[in-house]
Structure 1
Amino acid sequence: MRVRPILILGIDVISENPKKFAVVSWFNGRLERKGEFTLYRLIRFIQSKRPDIIALDSVTELGDDLRKFLRALPSGTKLVQVTGRPGEQRSLQSLAKEHGIRTFDRFDPYEEAKLSALLASKGVGYEVLAFEDEVIIKVTRGRSHGKGGWSQDRYRKRVHNLVRDKVREIEEGLRRADIPFDLETEERDYGLARGEFRVYAAREELAGLIRPMRGGDVEVRIQPVERAELGFAPLRGEEAIRERRSIIVGIDPGITVGIAVIDLSGNIVALHSERNMPVGEVFRFISEIGHPLVVATDVSPAPGFVEKIARSFKANLFVPRESLRVQDKNELLRDLGVSVDDDHQRDALAAAYKAYLRLKPKLEHVDARLREAGLSKKADEVKALVIQGYNLGEAMQRVALRERSRAEEKPEEARRQGPDVEQYLRRIHELERRIGFLERENAELREIIKEQRKTIGRLERRIADYDEEVRRKVLRERELEAKVKRIEALEKQLHEAKAVIERLSRDLVQVKRMNVVEIRGSAVPLKVMNVLSWRELERLEREIGVKRGDVLFVVNPAGAGRAIAEELVEKGIRALITEKPLPESVRVVLREAHVPFFTGDELDVKRVDEFAVVERETLEKAIDELLARWEEEDKEEEAERLLRLVEEYRIERMKELRRRAEGESKHR
């Protein structure tokens, strides 16, 4: 089988400000120095070459740019910290010595980059995990529908149908690939306005299955979910074995996830179950306990969720030949003599213990050989290597060599009085170079300051020469500003005066029209009021005047009362004409005062803007007829009143005569 060529880039920081990196490439055993790169050029270089691994001694060297750097990495490129997990790191030199790599100048960034690349090529280090094994897929419409019209409505419905079809296509693809997911949709026009998938798989697993789409009627966006905190997974199981407890993990996937952890001696370490537990939380829960060598399930074939966890830890996957029956699971728990909180913990524990039973004969053989060789203290580490695929002799040899290497490092580390002095020495070397650069820069800046001081002195003398001229200029500008403000105030007064003149001119024209009509005598001018109110009456008196014998025309008399009607009677108007009917209270006052009132339709009033007239003959005739009718009505009312008085007198007289007659009859 032909092995695919692997490209590894080793990087190390040369300087902080500006930040520059030394880059060395490793390609199938061949090392090549690539040169010095800024962060931007390094990202562009990585995106063009698409290496398998970017190796460095510590991710802290990327500082605040770490997240940006991780987002920019191409799919399939891993960022590896070769010195180990945070808090468990070792120096590059000690790792190189352990793996038989010669070292030279520890302060040369290119030498550090080369060591990182070589160690990564041997599977040393931890991959930096910035993203969960979850992906958000959003399906939405691609462009705006526009506004209005039947065509836009048809287009909108068509796009919503296309979104629905794309959501169904993705859903079917995920189900066929047996990839777990959740789906939220927003219905619109018997279709879908949007669909959002939360897929529990890494971005690489969706390659070739779902493709992003941009620019058309439908858009598909694929976004990996970032971890709140960075994770670290070993490049090879061997690297985690010597640092962390080796464990066997059983997992029961579903809405409620069950997790069981046992050690290599068959002891139960942890039991846990949780509803809606995401993949990232499962990974973190297990990582806090130890490094899983085996991830087990109780069903066959293995669920995709369990396979994903096993791949994440580079662990062996245990699948029973056939799914375990409930009876078998309960029997295993009785043998262990433990109780569980729910069925999910039971299933997970049964899977883990079944995997342990499968490995137990091999592990017991390892224990026996280690007791003979006097290496019982390193039993778990040797067992872990055997489970990883090493034969027993190789595993024992590796553990022995590692112990010898650590024993040689301890005196040196004691002399350093710290876990890793080399990084501080490298930092001192870098700071010394930085100090030299700053001293040169400081000397240059001092020369610049001298020149600037000379320039400032020359400019101060010129300012003194021009000071008087500037003062005079400022006084002129202030005087000009005062005059401009005065002109603005006068222009405002002029504008207001013009407005008053224009209004008075309109009033004068109206008065002249009314005088002309009066002089001609063929028509009677009407003084117009928009509403029958005190404010409108004051306006009419102010602009035209109201005198005895005037005829008023009111557009809308609604809301008027007795007081305003009595005021009109007192002013002695001859008649009141309205466009709409008068309120009853006003009608009563005018009727009692014998002031005629009509509607405009009754007299055929001619009105243009604020000017109204009525034919004199029509008005006089209407007034005479109304007054005559009122006089006749008054006479009839007076006659009725007299008849009522006579009738009341007659009735009272009869009552009086009856009382007298009754009194005389009693005396008799």
Structure 2
Amino acid sequence: MAILILGLDIISENPKRFAVVSWFNGMLERKGEFTLYRLIRFIHAKRPDIIAVDSVTELGDDLRKFLRALPPGTKLVQVTGRPGEQRSLQSLAREQGIRTGDRFDPYEEAKLAALLASKGVGYEVLAFEDEVVVKVTRGRSPGKGGWSQDRYRKRVHNLVRDKVREIEERLRRAGIPFDLETEEKDYGLSKGEFRVYASREELAGLIKPMKGGDVEVRILPVERSELGFAPLTGEEAIKERRSIIVGIDPGITVGIAAIDLNGRIVALHSERNMPVGEVFRFVSEVGHPIIVATDVSPAPGFVEKIARSFKAQLFAPRESLRVEEKNELLRDLGITVDDDHQRDALAAAYKAYLRLKPKLEHIDARLREAGLSKKSEEVKALVIQGYNLGEAMQKVSLKGRRRKEMEEPGEEQRGFDAEPYLRRIRELERRIEFLERENEELREIIREQRKTIGKLERKIADYDDEVRRKVLRERELEAKVKRIELLEKQLKEAKAVIERLSRDLVQVKRMNVVEIRGSAVPLKVLRVLSWRELQRIEREIGLRRGDVLFVANPAGAGKAIAEELVEKGIKAIITEKPLPEVVASVFREAHVPFFTSEELDVKRVDEFAVVERETLETAIERLLAKWEEEDREREAEKLARLLEEYRIERIKELERKAREELEEEKRKKRGGKDFKF
């Protein structure tokens, strides 16, 4: 398969400039000299499969920026090996049979880097985890505003919710594990954040970034804390590792616990913001997991990703473990942990072990009988992976026999005949040619299938539009039903008001007839006895001398407003409640009659009231006569009190004069005696 490789080497440090050589289908071409900015633009235009360098340190502080700028599918390869194990370009080139030139020529170095990468030499620089964060948010701030702004904000939050649901459905259909956190707002969502446990390449074509509209979708790869290096071809030899059961508690702080197949704890760890790649590396250093366990049901996407990465079985309890149950499991182990995350992870691993314990003990008993106790761990791992016990024992026995045979080669292996291998190579070449043709045919089928999928997706989109329109119609119908219910309620209330007003109208007509006949006196109605209400009456119907007023609530009235009514010459005042003392005293002094509605049997409808003329006149005459009698009695009492006061003063005056005359006589007598002396 033809690939494009760009070889780079640095020409100058300040300003930073690079020599670029391309390798495509066996052809080398010198591309020229590039600054870092122009180089990134060139890479985005050409989209090479590999960018080969002799050392990533040549990029200096711009390394992380350069890695973030690489398009999906482009690898950065350090051809000289991983850090600490690097070799020179010239020595690697000689091993691969590549002719070398001037080692101080940047273009020669760039050419060697490209040629070595084309032969599968080097290590890919890994800057990102196999993990992606997808953020769905509002495309713009709704700001402040009235009703229309509120409707727009609700619409945007509904669009965000629909986009989150669409991405969630696509990930589920593709079988990609993920965790989702949302933030609700206005019966919709203001934000949705997916943590997807897959690489950017796996999401290509599945989730597309969106920018500039009401909804924004951003795809952010998760960077590694330290750069990783993976060989371009082949796999490194993996040492035989012990089989373990791993419990994982995902979240902001990740808890990891590992126990061996005998129930002994071999690792316990927790770390904040630990990406899936770091978890994978930590577990790999401890051993090879055959079971990955969680304490909740269903299992989180994070745990599913770890289990799938190790091709291990996933264990989830039938029901999520309670805190009391976790503490009981830790008491059985006789261990204390640093935090709740380690506790949850260890409880999950130990729960999985307890589920397998009877089977593991049975395996140990059978192996002791067969004399294979030393192979206990390998047999247990195979049984857990799905082999029956007999198959597992046989597989382990054959493996040991082969290893022994390889360590002690026989006489027949000392000779070497290359012919079978050459025949096998030719056979494999024909097989490769056949597979390439078949591959091309399958690619054509895939293209056709993709076209069909596109058509079906458009049909689904049309169906979704139809369903959405149906939902909108149902919502509109529901709104109309609610509107009808509201109008019916308002109609019922209006009918009740009309019925009450009809009764009042009949009463008013009767009162008008009484008034026309002259047998009733109309009253001018005031709701309260205040200056504002008095101004309203004067403005609307006027207030004349001789009017009779009806006041519903006189409480709070003062002396001044009472004096004003007296000055206006009202004939009488009728109230539903007694008048305040200060107001009553003013009307009493001015001989303005006042009564309560109960005393006169007032008939009232809203702002209209009447009283029988004869009843009113009689009440006024009686009250005025009563007041006149009281005034006469008061005057008589006053006159008698004045006469009594005058009599007392007169007596006091006569007594004073008598004392003075007596004193005068005594003085005269004393004066005559003095003269004789």
Higher relative contact order (CA 8 A, sep 6+): 1
Give the TM-score category using the shorter length.
Answer: 0.3 to 0.5
